[in-house]
Amino acid sequence: MNADTIRRLGRVAVLMGGTSSERAVSLDSGSNVLDALRTKGVDALAVDGIPALIDAIRAGSVDRVFNVLHGSHGGGEDGVLQGLLSALGVPCTGSNVLGSALSMDKIRSKQVWQALGLPTPAYRRIAIGDDVVAAARDLGLPVIVKPACEGSSVGITRVFEEGDLQAAIELAASYPGELLMEQLVVGDEYTVGILGRDALPSIRIVPAGAYYDYHAKYVAEDTQYLCPGLDGEAEAAMRALALQAFEALGCSGWGRVDLMRDRHGANWLLEANTAPGMTSHSLVPKAARATGLDFASLCLRIVADTVADREGA
């Protein structure tokens, strides 16, 4: 990246923290991105949350935003931030309003994918007071119960017995938004990073425990990440599906698509992420590194794309 491109970036606000349930992860991600951009010579500043960002924009000290707010309801992945910045004419990394809103809502993501014939596990939308036992029997145990609009495995329960359903519902209902009950796919967990119009090499995630939960994602040091996760045609097919699913939701810029691969070799879409983690455990940086793109160069590439997008518009 040449000096002229870095100069044209102007002052970059690295937006982190916020008030969502993923605040701690976002602060970690933001600190890493801030340091990386500064090592590349970018004039970057840390901004904690959307109200502080508005103040900085009003003060004239922000030219563009590198968004690493995670989640909704005070996070930056649900379209609210994107609408604000679009109205103010401030370029921002990642997806636009539509892509952000659709991908944050797991129910509506699945509705789009199903309408296009893309594979995603069967599900039921759950409202408080619904007969959750009937829903689970209809889907067939085991199932996963989770909030429809949270990330980082927050509020998720894997349910193998009907007697455990109520506790799972109560946990998921402690977070804002709708609830989702989904068939549990037995197999291996994968993720595919997206950078521009390209799908990065897949990563097969092998946690030491039974599941890739919050602890395995952000705390444990014994989770294995195999990249690429597949070979040959299987790898190409998974990457193509991930890119198709990402673009079907109106997503752009960069992000990540999470999938399961069942014991028969079929791929199942779980969710898309439009502001993925950028911590030491995060997956998009691992996939980018497999292509020869180090962390600092990845961060610079992501924010530099906002210059090209703006000029193209």
Cα Rg, the chain, nearest whole Å: 19
Q: What is the DSSP string of 161-214?
A: SGGGHHHHHHHHHTSSS-EEEEEPPPEEEEEEEEETTEEPPPEEEE-SSSS--H
Q: How far apart are CA 313 and CA 309, in angstroms?
A: 6
Contacts of 46 (CB under 8 A, 6+ apart): 13, 14, 16, 30, 31, 34
Taking 3-state DSSP, the helix, strand and coil percentages for the chain, each rounded to the nearest 5, stand at: 40, 20, 35
**How many other C-beta atoms lie within 10 A of the C-beta of residue 38?**
16
Residues assigned a catalytic role: 22, 152, 218, 256, 258, 271, 273, 277
